[in-house]
Amino acid sequence: MLDAAQVRENMRSYEQQIGMIVDVAQAEFQYNSTWLNALTFKDVINLAKHFTAAQMIQRENFRNRWEAGERIGLHELLYPLMQGYDSLAIKADVELGGTDQLFNVLAGRKVQEIYGQKPQNVLLMGMIMGPDGRKMSTSWGNTIFVNDAPVDQYGKVMSTNDSLIIPYLESCTDVPLPEIRRLAADLAAGQAHPKEVKKFLAWHVVSQYHGIDAANFAQAEFAQVVEQRGAPSDVPGVTVPAGETRLADLLLATGQAPSKNHARRLIEQGGVEIDGARIADVNATLLPRDGMLIRCGKRSFVRLQVR
């Protein structure tokens, strides 16, 4: 459970993200504490009597946890009642949600009926999986956010499993469905390369949230950095002392590695390049010079400035 300050902080982020999709000047934001705090325990009991424990446990996420012997708090079972009461309080005509929210949005219809209000319509959308095919989760690091920087957003979409190309085109872009069907047929017949269709997808996702210029830049940056193994256009500069130094020490000093052991592993694994030349000798030394480019992994770059 989050405290009020954290909820307000989250709300600022939600408004910013939603503002990339809808005109917030025509939107209304409300905190459901406005009406939920006013409910008495008797009110909650009267709501709860219209639902059964079996209905709650049959929901997929609860059922899986029940069968696995995992703990399910009683307060979790009250969530659909709270969400349902939200629909009543704002007199919702339509509620949008993912397919995982089916029970909760139908609870809204039920609560509205209980209080004599016209039940809302429901519009559900398919779940959008993370790039690795699992449900998106910040703890798994497989999320793509609408407010990601254009280059990051493009790169994340390009890292998705090939099996997600068509679902992403359908759910995350405004590409006409006939064109998506054609692309799906071409992919199935081997007449289109997944990577090229993925570029098409990534460009459309970025252009939708950041504009055409940003999408063009992100696509060019991806080609330069990932495909051509060049340096990005905005490589940060790091000042280092003059004089010969061990490469592992240099990675540590420039923030490319959190520890000397990590730096040694990066070098041993062939993940370090100096001016485009890979160095795999953990005992290597070099003489830093202005403009020297260090690359660690696929996308981490620094350019040296010697003092």
Question: Where residue 252 sits, what CATH number does that domain have?
Answer: 3.10.290.10
pLDDT > 70 in the chain, percent: 100
Q: List the CATH number of the domain containing 68.
A: 3.40.50.620
- Per-residue confidence at 40, pLDDT binned at 50, 70, 90? very high
- Lowest-confidence region among 198-202, 207-211, 262-266: 262-266
Classify residue 171: in a domain, yes or no.
yes
Q: List the CATH number of the domain containing 178.
A: 1.10.240.10
Classify residue 10: in a domain, yes or no.
no
Classify residue 4: in a domain, yes or no.
no
Q: What is the mean pLDDT of residues 171-200?
A: 96
The pLDDT assigned to 44 comes to 95
The pLDDT assigned to 198 comes to 97
Classify residue 141: in a domain, yes or no.
no
Co-location of 107 and 166 in the same domain = no
Average pLDDT, the chain: 92
Classify residue 220: in a domain, yes or no.
yes
Query: Which residue range(s) make up the domain with 204?
Result: 150-227
Among 186, 201, 227, give the residue marking a domain's end: 227
The pLDDT assigned to 59 comes to 82
Q: Which residue has the tokens 């708090």?
A: 73
pLDDT > 90 in the chain, percent: 67
- Per-residue confidence at 228, pLDDT binned at 50, 70, 90? confident
Co-location of 202 and 286 in the same domain = no
pLDDT at residue 257 above 90? no
pLDDT at residue 180 above 80? yes
Among 174, 207, 227, give the residue marking a domain's end: 227
Co-location of 177 and 245 in the same domain = no
Tell me the per-residue pLDDT of 229-256, one tens digit each, with 9 for 90 and over. 788 887 888 999 999 999 999 999 898 8
- Per-residue confidence at 138, pLDDT binned at 50, 70, 90? confident
Classify residue 293: in a domain, yes or no.
yes
Co-location of 185 and 256 in the same domain = no
The pLDDT assigned to 30 comes to 93
